Structure formats: C-alpha cells, structure tokens
Amino acid sequence: MPHTPRPSTKSLYTPEERARRDATPWTIVQAILAPLQFFVFAVSLGLVLRYLFTGDGYTAATVSILIKTLILYTIMVTGAIWEKVVFGQYLFAPAFFWEDVFSFAVIALHTGYLWALFTGQSHNLQMFIALAAYTTYVINAGQFLWKLRQARLQAASESAPTGTLAMEQGTP
C-alpha cells in the first residue's frame, strides 16, 4: 500500500491516512477498548488503594489488575494492527512515535507486576508496582488524548472556512 509523504506542516494524518483510519474497523476497536480500559483502571485503582490503606481486598485488587493488564495487552496488539493499516507499519509510525515508546514503559511495568505476582513477591510490592504501572498508563492515556484533540483540530481546520478556526481557537 503506497503512502504519501507527510506534509511539512504538523498534520497528524495525510488525507490518505485519514481515509484509511476512517475506513478500518480497528479504529472502532480502539474507540471501544480505550474507554473500557480507563473504566477498569479507575475501578482497579480504587481497589489497589483500598488494599494499601486497609489491608483488605487483596484478591479483588489482584483480579482487577489482571483484567487491566489483559485489556492493555489487547489494546496494544490491536493498536499495532491499526497503525499498520493507517500508517503502513506496526509500531513507531512518526505520528505516534512517542506514544508508542511510552506504551512500552506501561507494558513493561504491567509485565513487572505479573512477574511479582507469579514469583510470589510481597503483596505490597505487587501493589506498588501496579501503582507505578498505573501512573505511566495515565501519562500515556494523556498522550493519546492530546493526539485525539490534535486530530479533531486538524479535521476542523481542514473543513472550516479560512480564518474560522483561528477565531475559534482565540488566535488573531
């Protein structure tokens, strides 16, 4: 599949990439998995904090972390497929390079949690690794939300009459 070089402006997608993004079912998969992952994260964070503050609910916290990790792995695999369809490479496409780099830190910490769980490390160590994983996840989710905002602004600027978007953004 030939790819058009990215314009010199800071466009997130070329017109061809946007068309592929809009046509692939993997975009819908990502749109479903991302909020699901955030919901599971929020519940799990509460359970982890409950365990750390009270000592109660280790099993519930552990199950929630495992579910969060499974969804993370799923969204990473499907996201790589999405990148291949849209940008022609599985990971580290220029438009999402730093988000992918940071995603590997998120995955490494979630995998570190699995190591701690399956090697019988202390419950507190497991939970603190999970908190570190969750901290990186929040940063990474912020990166992707920023890109989503950039994509929406780009789409609005390309469909708005000249000067309209600048006025909407508060720029002269």
Q: Which pTM value belongs to this model?
A: 0.81
Q: Is the pLDDT of residue 149 over 90?
A: no
- Work out the number of other CB atoms within 10 angstroms of the CB of residue 116: 18
How high is the pLDDT of residue 10? 65
Task: Report in angstroms the alpha-carbon separations of 101 from 93, 136, 167.
Answer: 11, 12, 35
Q: Is the pLDDT of residue 62 over 50?
A: yes
pLDDT tier for residue 162 given thresholds of 50, 70 and 90: low
Q: For 21-47, what is the mean pLDDT?
A: 96
Q: For 39-62, what is the mean pLDDT?
A: 98
How high is the pLDDT of residue 3? 52
